[in-house]
Structure 1
Amino acid sequence: MLKYITAHLPALIALAAGVLILIMPRLLNLVVALYLICIGLIGLGVLRWFHL
């Protein structure tokens, strides 16, 4: 189950970011920054260090 969630984590983050941007467009900078940070951490495998 954890592999399924981890494999789809970028898609879930993108979906949440899109919804937030639609609701509050001023959050665009924050949402994009958080998205990029999360994708970078996932790409580097940092989340595995925390056993997520």
Structure 2
Amino acid sequence: MALFLFIVLLAVIFGFVGALVKGMIWLLVIGAVLLVLALVLGGMRLGRRSRQ
């Protein structure tokens, strides 16, 4: 759970900086990728728990 929250936090920070700082659009892209990764990891964990 801590890894999930850490990845979401990084995604928010990178996305915020990427959206506000001119020329840092690549940080926004990295933030979006990290958010998708966090959602996939969270979904995998949730799916694994529901089967037990």
Bigger radius of gyration = 2
Higher relative contact order (CA 8 A, sep 6+): 2
**TM-score, structure 2 length as denominator?**
0.45
TM-score (norm 1): 0.45
